[in-house]
Amino acid sequence: MDKRSISDLQHKLKDEKGIHTDFREDMTYSDYLSLAPLLNSQNRLSDHHDEMLFIIIHQVSELWMKLIIHEMRGAIRAIQQGEMQPAFKMLARVSKIQMQIIQAWDVLATMTPAEYLQFRDELGKASGFQSYQYRLIEFALGYKTPYILKIYEKEPVILEVLKEAYDAPSIYDVAIQALAKAGLPITEALLNRDFSVVYSGDDTVAAAWKTVYENIDTYWDLYQLGEKLVDIEDSLQQWRFRHMKTVERIIGFKVGTGGSSGVNYLRKVLDHRFFPELWDLRTAL
C-alpha cells in the first residue's frame, strides 16, 4: 500500500466517529476469543521452522472437529425429536467444515520429508491416532472399536466422555429410527439394539431406504436426510484419503509415532462404510 493509499485510509477511519477505542472497562475482541492462551499454545519442542506449521495444522483441525462434534450432537437430538430442518442445517454445516479440514492437508504437504525428520523424534509416542475428538466423530457416525478406549485410560475425564459416546446411538441409528417412525417396516431389534456394536447392515433398512428414494415426494425429509449422510461420509473418506497420501508423501511407509502401521493402517480404514444401505441402493435403484 503506497503513502497516498495509507493517508486516504487514515482519513476514512477518522470519519468513523463511533469506533470504540477505550476498553479499560469493556471486553475486547481478544478477551472474548481468549486469544492470549490460544496464540500462546504453539509450544515447539525443537528449533525447526516447520514445527510451527505442524502444530498449527493439527490444532486448527482439532478446533474444526470440536465444531463438527457440536453440530453432530445437535443433529442427532433434532432427528430424535422429529425436527428435520434444523438437523439438515447442522449436517450441511458439517459438510462445509469437512472441506476446511480436507484442504488443511494441502498446507501440511508443503513440508518435505527431510524437514519433518528434523523434529519428528521430539513427538515421542504422540500421534494424531490418539485424537479423542476424531474418535468422538467416528462414534457419532457409528464406527466403534473397544480397543481404542484403552488409549485414554491416562485421562479419566476424556475416557468417560468417550464411553458415553460409545454407548450412545449414532446418527445412523437415529436415522433408522426415523425410518420406523415414518411407518416403514424395520426389524424391531434394531430400534433398541446395543449401540456400542458396529452396525453391519439389515435387509429391512435397505428396503426402507429404497422405498424412500423411489417415493421422494412422500418421504422428502427422509430423502434429504439420506443425502446429507452420504455427503458427510463422502467428505470423511476424502479426508481419510488426503490424510493417507499426505502421510505417504512425508514419511512413506514408516511406522507412525503412535505405533500404528501408518499408511497401511490408513488404507484399511478407507474400506469401512458408515451407512452401507445408502451406498448399496445406488446400484439397487
Judged against a pLDDT cut of 90, whether residue 272 lies above it is answered with: no
Question: Would you say residue 125 lies in a domain?
Answer: no
Instruction: Name which of 188-192, 222-226, 231-235 the model is least confident about.
Output: 188-192
Whether residue 117 is contained in a domain is answered as: no
81 located within any domain = yes
Q: Are 205 and 190 in contact (CB under 8 A)?
A: yes
Q: Identify the pLDDT of residue 145.
A: 87
User: In this structure, is residue 76 part of a structural domain?
Assistant: yes
Residues in binding site for heme: 243
Query: Quick one: pLDDT band at residue 242, thresholds 50, 70, 90?
Result: very high
Q: Would 116 be classed as within a structural domain?
A: no
**Residue 199, domain CATH:** 1.20.58.480
pLDDT of residue 12: 66
Q: Do the domain assignments include residue 19? A: no
Residues 6+ apart with CB under 8 A from 70: none
Is residue 23 in a domain? no
What's the total number of domains in the chain? Answer: 1
Residue 216 lies in a domain: yes
Residue 260 pLDDT more than 70?
Answer: yes
Residue numbers in the known binding site for substrate are: 54-58, 116, 120, 257
Q: Is 215 helix (H, G, I), strand (E, B) or coil?
A: coil
Residue span of the structural domain in which 238 resides: 49-110+139-283
DSSP conformation letters of 59-70: HHHHHHHHHHHH
Backbone angles phi, psi at 23, to 5 degrees: -115, 25
* 161-180 average pLDDT score: 97
**Binding site residue list:** 54-58, 116, 120, 243, 257
